[in-house]
A = this chain, B = another copy of it.
Amino acid sequence: MIDLQGVSRTYGAHAAVRDVSLRIPKGSVVALIGPSGSGKTTLLRLLDLLERPTAGRYLFDGVDTGGSEQQRLAIRRRIAMVFQKPVPLATTVGGNVAAGLRYRKVPKEEIRARMAAALAMVGLSGLADRDAATLSGGEMQRVALARALVTEPEVLLMDEPTANLDPENTTLIEEVVRRVNRTQGITIVLSTHDMGQGQRLADTLALIMQGRVHQSGRAQDLFSYPGTPEAARFMGFENLLEGSVVEKQDDLTVIDIGPRRITAVSDAGVGEGVTACIRAEDLTLLSARSTQGSARNTLAGTITRIALHGSFARVTVDTGFPVTALITRRSAEEMEFRVGQPICVTFKATAVHVIRRADHSPPAAG
């Protein structure tokens, strides 16, 4: 469906998107994730043919999009976009939703019906006659989705579609998106800051950093096996430990991290510099020095910080180097953790994701 070949977009001296190659098959859902200012919006604008690449080619359904404005319009009409900051056109909510259909010269009655259906879909049926300028942030975001979907696009682009929505509406929108993808086979590319949303919605995640596709792949792969320490940090690995391989037994690898050693599963060779990445939620805390359990790694230390976050607690333990564990609040309360308390941190060798230093640069192109 979408085939970007070495696409770049520069603004003056600044390259917002650099040499991106990306194939997005029909019917798939791709989430762009990445830090603020990394180029997600620019990439989506390129995909929507709002900008022309300063270098590279963009094939849509096999057709080069570099043609005349006429040709680009024909392609653009098969695409719809929900902007990061959706703006209302100066008319009613209904008029906003109907705009794309009016441009396509759809008959009046059909417009009315489809507009009403689209508004209902995003839970805003009552608002058709309201002046769109008076909508709240979240209402406008939903109107923008209705406005895009009502044109029955083949590709739906969404720039942070739920950034201004509460959890309930986020669920609603995600369900709408999933439904149109499943039932109508609409290809979806969205950007999101909500990692969970990326995983919930997308088959493929593309991690964008500094204008490049830093890494892309199945959500689960990206989530579990980030290719670089930056990616790992961005993917939520809270514990990144720099070290080097000192022993190997099959793929069981012993890594020297400053004062301690940990065992991981990896294909890095002895002497190689690596980064060991462990998620906070994969660390278990044991109150005694009881070496029970099958976990390969057990590190003794003292609690240096406990932070409560909703129903979870984030416990930082100094084991020679600091590691942070995420446990349920309830168990933190039951085990009566206190700062200064000695404790054991355990984790399985398989819970350690090892990034070999040689893999860091250059970042893998998508």
CB nearest to A84 among chain B residues: B137
A234 and B328 CA atoms in complex are apart in Å by 20
Residue in contact with A166 in the complex, picked from B35, B134, B138, B168, CB distance below 8 Å: B35
CB nearest to A193 among chain B residues: B166
A281 within 8 A of B: yes
CB nearest to A140 among chain B residues: B85
Interface digits, A21-37 against B, CB 8 Å rule (1 contact, 0 not)? 00000000000011111
A41 and B234 CA atoms in complex are apart in Å by 30
State which residues 135-183 of A face B: CB under 8 Å. 135-139, 141-142, 159-160, 163-170
A108 within 8 A of B: no
Segment of A195-203, A259-267, A315-323 engaged in the interface with chain B = A195-203
- A199 near B136: Cβ-Cβ < 8 Å: no
A84 and B141 CA atoms in complex are apart in Å by 12
Interface digits, A184-204 against B, CB 8 Å rule (1 contact, 0 not)? 000000000101100110000
Across the interface, which residues of B come within 8 angstroms of A68, CB to CB?
A: none
A236 and B160 CA atoms in complex are apart in Å by 22
State which residues 255-307 of A face B: CB under 8 Å. 279, 281-282
- A36 near B233: Cβ-Cβ < 8 Å: no
- B37 near A330: Cβ-Cβ < 8 Å: no
